[in-house]
Structure 1
Amino acid sequence: MTIPNRTTLATLRRMLPAQVASLPAADLAALLDEVAKLKADGKQLSDLLHEGLDRRFGEAATAARRAEGKDTGRVRLEADGVEVVADLPKRVEWNQARLAEAVQTLREWGEDPADYVGTELTVTEARFAAWPPRIRALFEPARTLRPGRPTYALTPKEPA
Protein backbone atom coordinates (compact mmCIF):
# COMPACT_ATOMS: atom_id res chain seq x y z
CA MET A 1 0.00 0.00 0.00
CA THR A 2 1.57 3.28 -1.09
CA ILE A 3 0.66 6.48 0.68
CA PRO A 4 0.54 9.36 -1.83
CA ASN A 5 2.71 12.41 -1.08
CA ARG A 6 4.46 10.80 1.84
CA THR A 7 8.07 11.22 2.86
CA THR A 8 10.48 8.88 1.08
CA LEU A 9 13.74 7.41 2.32
CA ALA A 10 15.57 9.66 -0.13
CA THR A 11 13.95 12.69 1.49
CA LEU A 12 14.59 11.30 4.98
CA ARG A 13 18.34 11.14 4.27
CA ARG A 14 18.40 14.94 3.89
CA MET A 15 16.37 15.70 7.02
CA LEU A 16 17.39 16.72 10.52
CA PRO A 17 15.96 14.93 13.57
CA ALA A 18 13.69 17.92 14.34
CA GLN A 19 12.23 17.68 10.83
CA VAL A 20 11.70 13.94 11.20
CA ALA A 21 9.91 14.56 14.49
CA SER A 22 7.41 16.81 12.73
CA LEU A 23 6.40 14.21 10.13
CA PRO A 24 2.91 12.71 10.20
CA ALA A 25 2.77 9.47 12.20
CA ALA A 26 1.64 7.55 9.09
CA ASP A 27 4.82 8.64 7.30
CA LEU A 28 6.94 7.60 10.28
CA ALA A 29 5.25 4.19 10.34
CA ALA A 30 5.85 3.69 6.61
CA LEU A 31 9.49 4.79 6.94
CA LEU A 32 10.06 2.39 9.85
CA ASP A 33 8.63 -0.41 7.73
CA GLU A 34 10.87 0.46 4.77
CA VAL A 35 13.96 0.64 6.97
CA ALA A 36 13.12 -2.75 8.52
CA LYS A 37 12.83 -4.24 5.02
CA LEU A 38 16.16 -2.68 4.03
CA LYS A 39 17.83 -4.12 7.14
CA ALA A 40 16.45 -7.59 6.43
CA ASP A 41 17.53 -7.35 2.79
CA GLY A 42 20.96 -6.08 3.82
CA LYS A 43 21.39 -8.97 6.27
CA GLN A 44 20.36 -11.50 3.63
CA LEU A 45 22.79 -10.01 1.10
CA SER A 46 25.59 -9.85 3.68
CA ASP A 47 25.03 -13.49 4.67
CA LEU A 48 25.04 -14.55 1.01
CA LEU A 49 28.22 -12.61 0.30
CA HIS A 50 30.03 -13.99 3.35
CA GLU A 51 29.00 -17.55 2.48
CA GLY A 52 30.34 -17.01 -1.04
CA LEU A 53 33.61 -15.57 0.30
CA ASP A 54 34.00 -18.53 2.64
CA ARG A 55 33.41 -20.98 -0.21
CA ARG A 56 35.89 -19.15 -2.41
CA PHE A 57 38.68 -18.52 0.11
CA GLY A 58 37.96 -20.77 3.11
CA GLU A 59 40.06 -23.77 2.12
CA ALA A 60 43.02 -21.63 1.06
CA ALA A 61 42.81 -19.66 4.32
CA THR A 62 42.70 -22.87 6.37
CA ALA A 63 45.74 -24.18 4.49
CA ALA A 64 47.62 -20.90 5.01
CA ARG A 65 46.85 -20.96 8.75
CA ARG A 66 47.98 -24.59 8.96
CA ALA A 67 51.23 -23.66 7.17
CA GLU A 68 51.77 -20.96 9.81
CA GLY A 69 51.06 -23.47 12.58
CA LYS A 70 47.83 -21.90 13.80
CA ASP A 71 44.13 -22.79 13.83
CA THR A 72 42.74 -19.27 14.09
CA GLY A 73 43.85 -15.75 13.27
CA ARG A 74 44.55 -13.64 10.23
CA VAL A 75 46.23 -14.77 7.02
CA ARG A 76 46.78 -12.99 3.74
CA LEU A 77 46.00 -14.52 0.37
CA GLU A 78 46.07 -13.20 -3.17
CA ALA A 79 43.39 -13.70 -5.78
CA ASP A 80 43.13 -12.01 -9.16
CA GLY A 81 45.51 -9.24 -8.13
CA VAL A 82 43.58 -8.54 -4.92
CA GLU A 83 44.93 -9.06 -1.42
CA VAL A 84 42.46 -11.05 0.66
CA VAL A 85 42.74 -10.86 4.43
CA ALA A 86 41.01 -13.90 5.91
CA ASP A 87 40.42 -13.68 9.65
CA LEU A 88 39.10 -16.50 11.81
CA PRO A 89 38.72 -15.04 15.30
CA LYS A 90 38.96 -17.07 18.48
CA ARG A 91 35.72 -17.60 20.37
CA VAL A 92 36.69 -18.89 23.78
CA GLU A 93 34.03 -20.23 26.12
CA TRP A 94 34.69 -21.23 29.70
CA ASN A 95 32.75 -23.89 31.57
CA GLN A 96 31.54 -21.98 34.61
CA ALA A 97 31.28 -25.00 36.91
CA ARG A 98 34.84 -26.11 36.12
CA LEU A 99 36.12 -22.57 36.53
CA ALA A 100 34.53 -22.46 39.98
CA GLU A 101 36.28 -25.74 40.84
CA ALA A 102 39.62 -24.35 39.63
CA VAL A 103 39.11 -21.17 41.68
CA GLN A 104 38.36 -23.29 44.75
CA THR A 105 41.53 -25.31 44.14
CA LEU A 106 43.53 -22.06 43.94
CA ARG A 107 42.11 -21.02 47.31
CA GLU A 108 43.04 -24.42 48.79
CA TRP A 109 46.60 -23.92 47.52
CA GLY A 110 46.71 -20.58 49.32
CA GLU A 111 46.66 -18.56 46.10
CA ASP A 112 44.51 -15.48 45.53
CA PRO A 113 42.15 -16.28 42.60
CA ALA A 114 41.98 -12.55 41.79
CA ASP A 115 45.58 -12.84 40.59
CA TYR A 116 44.43 -15.25 37.88
CA VAL A 117 40.76 -14.77 37.06
CA GLY A 118 38.29 -11.90 36.92
CA THR A 119 34.95 -12.28 38.56
CA GLU A 120 31.78 -10.50 37.54
CA LEU A 121 28.73 -11.00 39.67
CA THR A 122 25.40 -10.39 37.99
CA VAL A 123 21.81 -10.21 39.16
CA THR A 124 18.88 -10.49 36.78
CA GLU A 125 16.16 -7.87 37.20
CA ALA A 126 13.54 -10.61 37.52
CA ARG A 127 15.38 -12.12 40.50
CA PHE A 128 16.02 -8.73 42.06
CA ALA A 129 12.33 -7.83 41.82
CA ALA A 130 11.35 -11.12 43.48
CA TRP A 131 13.67 -10.74 46.47
CA PRO A 132 12.29 -9.87 49.91
CA PRO A 133 12.66 -6.14 50.74
CA ARG A 134 15.41 -6.81 53.31
CA ILE A 135 17.59 -8.56 50.72
CA ARG A 136 16.84 -5.94 48.03
CA ALA A 137 17.86 -3.18 50.46
CA LEU A 138 21.20 -4.91 51.01
CA PHE A 139 21.98 -4.97 47.29
CA GLU A 140 20.46 -1.64 46.18
CA PRO A 141 23.62 0.43 46.89
CA ALA A 142 25.44 -1.73 44.31
CA ARG A 143 22.72 -1.27 41.66
CA THR A 144 22.71 1.51 39.09
CA LEU A 145 19.81 1.81 36.69
CA ARG A 146 20.50 3.47 33.34
CA PRO A 147 17.88 3.76 30.64
CA GLY A 148 18.57 2.10 27.32
CA ARG A 149 17.88 3.48 23.87
CA PRO A 150 14.18 4.12 23.37
CA THR A 151 12.39 2.20 20.63
CA TYR A 152 9.08 2.91 18.96
CA ALA A 153 6.69 0.81 16.91
CA LEU A 154 4.02 2.50 14.82
CA THR A 155 1.18 0.49 13.33
CA PRO A 156 -1.25 2.25 10.99
CA LYS A 157 -4.86 1.71 12.03
CA GLU A 158 -7.36 0.52 9.48
CA PRO A 159 -10.11 3.05 8.79
CA ALA A 160 -13.29 2.22 10.74
Structure 2
Amino acid sequence: MPVGELATLPASELFRLQREVDEALRRAKLADAWLDGALSLRYSARAHQARATDLKDMGTVRFEDNGVTVVADLPKKIDWDQDALSGVVELLTAEGENPRHYVEITFKVSERRYAAWPPHIRKVFEAARTVQVGAQSFRLTTDPAGDA
Protein backbone atom coordinates (compact mmCIF):
# COMPACT_ATOMS: atom_id res chain seq x y z
CA MET A 1 0.00 0.00 0.00
CA PRO A 2 1.45 3.42 -0.91
CA VAL A 3 2.50 5.61 2.02
CA GLY A 4 0.00 8.32 1.08
CA GLU A 5 -2.84 5.81 1.17
CA LEU A 6 -1.57 4.34 4.43
CA ALA A 7 -1.55 7.83 5.97
CA THR A 8 -5.29 8.18 5.32
CA LEU A 9 -6.21 5.16 7.45
CA PRO A 10 -7.95 5.75 10.78
CA ALA A 11 -5.65 6.15 13.78
CA SER A 12 -6.97 2.91 15.29
CA GLU A 13 -5.90 1.03 12.13
CA LEU A 14 -2.48 2.70 12.15
CA PHE A 15 -2.16 1.72 15.82
CA ARG A 16 -3.00 -1.90 14.97
CA LEU A 17 -0.52 -1.91 12.08
CA GLN A 18 2.22 -0.38 14.22
CA ARG A 19 1.75 -3.09 16.86
CA GLU A 20 1.77 -5.78 14.14
CA VAL A 21 4.99 -4.43 12.66
CA ASP A 22 6.60 -4.15 16.11
CA GLU A 23 5.71 -7.79 16.82
CA ALA A 24 6.97 -8.93 13.40
CA LEU A 25 10.22 -7.06 13.98
CA ARG A 26 10.59 -8.63 17.43
CA ARG A 27 10.04 -12.10 15.94
CA ALA A 28 12.48 -11.40 13.09
CA LYS A 29 15.18 -10.29 15.55
CA LEU A 30 14.58 -13.43 17.62
CA ALA A 31 14.78 -15.63 14.50
CA ASP A 32 17.97 -13.85 13.41
CA ALA A 33 19.60 -14.45 16.82
CA TRP A 34 18.44 -18.08 16.75
CA LEU A 35 19.92 -18.65 13.28
CA ASP A 36 23.17 -16.87 14.24
CA GLY A 37 23.43 -19.25 17.18
CA ALA A 38 22.95 -22.27 14.92
CA LEU A 39 25.54 -20.98 12.43
CA SER A 40 27.99 -20.34 15.24
CA LEU A 41 27.43 -23.82 16.67
CA ARG A 42 27.91 -25.43 13.26
CA TYR A 43 30.84 -23.42 11.91
CA SER A 44 32.88 -21.92 14.79
CA ALA A 45 35.26 -24.86 15.10
CA ARG A 46 35.85 -25.02 11.34
CA ALA A 47 36.42 -21.27 11.17
CA HIS A 48 38.87 -21.48 14.08
CA GLN A 49 40.73 -24.30 12.31
CA ALA A 50 40.79 -22.35 9.02
CA ARG A 51 42.27 -19.32 10.80
CA ALA A 52 44.85 -21.52 12.51
CA THR A 53 45.79 -23.01 9.13
CA ASP A 54 46.19 -19.49 7.74
CA LEU A 55 48.23 -18.51 10.83
CA LYS A 56 45.87 -15.73 11.86
CA ASP A 57 43.87 -15.07 15.01
CA MET A 58 41.25 -12.82 13.41
CA GLY A 59 39.91 -11.87 10.04
CA THR A 60 37.92 -13.55 7.29
CA VAL A 61 38.22 -17.17 6.23
CA ARG A 62 36.29 -19.11 3.61
CA PHE A 63 35.52 -22.79 3.43
CA GLU A 64 33.04 -25.04 1.66
CA ASP A 65 30.14 -26.97 3.13
CA ASN A 66 28.41 -29.18 0.55
CA GLY A 67 28.66 -26.66 -2.28
CA VAL A 68 27.98 -23.61 -0.11
CA THR A 69 30.81 -21.21 0.62
CA VAL A 70 30.91 -20.21 4.26
CA VAL A 71 32.48 -16.81 4.90
CA ALA A 72 33.42 -16.53 8.57
CA ASP A 73 34.54 -13.14 9.78
CA LEU A 74 36.07 -12.49 13.17
CA PRO A 75 36.75 -8.76 13.08
CA LYS A 76 39.58 -7.08 14.90
CA LYS A 77 38.30 -4.54 17.39
CA ILE A 78 40.86 -2.14 18.74
CA ASP A 79 40.22 -0.01 21.81
CA TRP A 80 42.65 2.73 22.80
CA ASP A 81 43.05 3.85 26.41
CA GLN A 82 42.19 7.55 26.19
CA ASP A 83 44.15 8.52 29.30
CA ALA A 84 47.25 6.73 28.02
CA LEU A 85 46.87 8.38 24.60
CA SER A 86 46.59 11.76 26.27
CA GLY A 87 49.93 11.09 27.96
CA VAL A 88 51.48 10.06 24.63
CA VAL A 89 50.20 13.26 22.99
CA GLU A 90 51.75 15.32 25.81
CA LEU A 91 55.03 13.43 25.40
CA LEU A 92 55.08 13.98 21.63
CA THR A 93 54.33 17.67 22.10
CA ALA A 94 57.10 18.00 24.71
CA GLU A 95 59.52 16.39 22.23
CA GLY A 96 58.58 18.96 19.57
CA GLU A 97 56.49 16.56 17.48
CA ASN A 98 53.08 17.44 16.11
CA PRO A 99 50.78 14.77 17.59
CA ARG A 100 48.19 15.40 14.87
CA HIS A 101 50.58 13.65 12.47
CA TYR A 102 50.01 10.47 14.48
CA VAL A 103 46.59 10.66 16.10
CA GLU A 104 43.18 12.13 15.41
CA ILE A 105 42.13 14.26 18.33
CA THR A 106 38.41 14.55 19.01
CA PHE A 107 36.70 16.50 21.75
CA LYS A 108 33.23 15.61 23.00
CA VAL A 109 30.94 17.57 25.28
CA SER A 110 28.06 15.88 27.06
CA GLU A 111 24.88 17.85 26.33
CA ARG A 112 23.73 17.23 29.90
CA ARG A 113 26.94 18.72 31.29
CA TYR A 114 26.79 21.61 28.83
CA ALA A 115 23.26 22.47 29.99
CA ALA A 116 24.43 22.51 33.62
CA TRP A 117 27.36 24.88 33.01
CA PRO A 118 27.19 28.51 34.12
CA PRO A 119 26.10 30.83 31.28
CA HIS A 120 29.52 32.49 30.92
CA ILE A 121 31.18 29.08 30.33
CA ARG A 122 28.47 27.98 27.85
CA LYS A 123 28.98 31.21 25.92
CA VAL A 124 32.67 30.39 25.37
CA PHE A 125 31.68 27.06 23.78
CA GLU A 126 28.71 28.26 21.69
CA ALA A 127 30.72 28.96 18.53
CA ALA A 128 31.86 25.32 18.46
CA ARG A 129 28.37 23.87 19.04
CA THR A 130 26.01 22.89 16.23
CA VAL A 131 22.52 21.59 16.95
CA GLN A 132 21.05 19.26 14.35
CA VAL A 133 17.54 17.87 14.30
CA GLY A 134 17.18 14.10 14.47
CA ALA A 135 14.56 12.00 12.74
CA GLN A 136 11.07 12.50 14.08
CA SER A 137 9.30 9.36 15.26
CA PHE A 138 5.75 8.54 16.22
CA ARG A 139 4.50 5.88 18.62
CA LEU A 140 0.79 5.24 18.85
CA THR A 141 -0.80 4.19 22.13
CA THR A 142 -4.24 3.65 23.57
CA ASP A 143 -2.97 4.62 27.03
CA PRO A 144 -3.79 8.31 27.68
CA ALA A 145 -0.53 8.63 29.67
CA GLY A 146 1.36 7.45 26.59
CA ASP A 147 3.13 4.63 28.42
CA ALA A 148 1.95 1.60 26.45
2:47 aligns with: 61
- Going from structure 1 to structure 2, the CA distance change for 1:121 and 1:157 (only over 3 Å counts) comes to closer
Deviation of 1:150 (Å): 0.9
What are the Cα deviations for residues 19-40 of structure 1, in whole angstroms up to 9, with x where unaligned? 2222111111111111111111
Pairing partner for 2:104 from 118, 122, 129: 118
Matches within 5 A, 1:124-139: 124-139=110-125
1:72 aligns with: 58
Q: Show structure 2 runs of 5+ residues with no match.
A: none
1:27 aligns with: 13
User: Given the two structures, how large is their TM-score scaled by the length of structure 2?
Assistant: 0.91
Deviation of 1:157 (Å): 4.8
User: Given the two structures, how large is their TM-score scaled by the length of structure 1?
Assistant: 0.84
Deviation of 1:68 (Å): 1.2
Query: Secondary structure at 1:64's aligned position in 2?
Result: helix
Alignment length (residue pairs): 144
Query: Secondary structure at 1:61's aligned position in 2?
Result: helix
Q: Is residue 23 of structure 2 the alignment partner of residue 40 of structure 1?
A: no
Pairing partner for 1:83 from 69, 92, 99: 69
Give the distance between the partners of 2:55 and 2:95, measured in 1 at CA. Answer: 35
Report the aligned-residue RMSD.
1.4
Query: Secondary structure at 1:150's aligned position in 2?
Result: coil
Give the distance between the partners of 1:18 and 1:145, measured in 2 at CA. Answer: 31
1:151 aligns with: 137
Q: Show structure 1 runs of 5+ residues with no match.
A: 1-14
Quick one: which amino acid aligns to residue 55 of structure 2? G
Give the distance between the partners of 1:74 and 1:144, measured in 2 at CA. Answer: 39
After superposing on structure 2, the runs of 4+ consecutive aligned residues of structure 1 that deviate more than 3 Å are none
Query: Secondary structure at 2:64's aligned position in 1?
Result: strand
Q: Percent identity?
A: 41
